[in-house]
């Protein structure tokens, strides 16, 4: 790839603690899945150069800590973001119910400016193996439709949904490709 002409995007990964944000980021970067839960302290940062739709893109990936005690630090990272990946755990109803809180926190810290949003339901491997899914497909589809309607008020807003497994690496690559395409379309 020739990266003399490239687009740089600041991509934020956010969501409750223990939903798999860091595991998703690590898997996307080609790293192994770690079974141990590792707390992100404040934020973690990575860069990946890719090509999407014949365009050279550099993703600056900011993985934000999900614990409430880090909320005072998170607000600094939202500014100048190009896109959001909001992760929830398919086996945790509360992580799904907190999605509006994450969107509200983002909006509050960006003067009500909205960017493309990819909502990720993570841990499909657990749902397939033991049927522990707590959020029905109909619930998420209804919520995505509500967000699409709400998003009509924002010129840079687009939303997609995908279900992933950081453990099996299922849909990780396509999730990042999807948000990158959304951010590229936002530039037009």
CATH number at residue 173: 3.40.50.300
Helices 99-108 and 71-78 pack at an angle, to 10 degrees, of 60
Q: Domain limits at 165?
A: 7-187
Q: How far is CA 114 from the centre of its chain?
A: 14
Output the six-digit token pair for 116. Answer: 């493309």
Residue 1 lies in a domain: no
Residue 2 lies in a domain: no
121 close to 141: Cβ distance less than 8 angstroms: no
DSSP 157: -
Residue 141 lies in a domain: yes
pTM of the model: 0.89
47 close to 60: Cβ distance less than 8 angstroms: yes
Q: Which of 79, 15, 67 is nearest to 25 (CA)?
A: 15
Q: What confidence tens digit (pLDDT) does each residue in 43-92 have? A: 778 999 999 989 999 999 999 886 565 556 677 889 999 999 999 999 99
Q: What confidence tens digit (pLDDT) does each residue in 138-185 have? A: 999 999 999 999 999 999 899 999 999 999 999 999 999 999 999 999
Instruction: Please state the domain count of the chain.
Output: 1
CA 46, 165, 163, 125: dihedral to nearest 10 degrees? -170
- pLDDT band (50, 70, 90) for residue 41: very low
């Amino acid at each position: 790839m020739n990266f003399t002409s490239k687009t740089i995007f600041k991509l934020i990964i956010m969501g409750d603690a223990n939903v798999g944000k860091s595991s998703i980021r690590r898997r996307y970067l080609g790293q192994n899945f770690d079974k141990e839960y590792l707390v992100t302290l404040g934020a973690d940062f990575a860069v990946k150069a890719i090509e999407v739709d014949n365009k050279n893109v550099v993703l600056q990936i900011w993985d934000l800590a999900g614990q409430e005690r880090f909320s005072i630090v998170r607000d600094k990272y939202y500014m100048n973001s190009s896109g959001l990946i909001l992760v929830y755990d398919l086996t945790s109803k509360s992580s799904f119910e907190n999605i509006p809180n994450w969107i509200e926190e983002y909006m509050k810290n960006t003067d009500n400016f909205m960017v493309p949003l990819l909502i990720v339901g993570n841990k499909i491997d657990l749902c397939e193996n033991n049927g522990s899914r707590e959020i029905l497909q109909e619930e998420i589809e209804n919520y995505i439709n509500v967000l699409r309607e709400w998003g009509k008020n924002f010129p840079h807003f687009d939303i997609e949904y995908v279900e992933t497994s950081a453990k099996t690496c299922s849909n990780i690559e396509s999730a990042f490709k999807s948000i990158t395409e959304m951010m590229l379309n936002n530039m037009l």
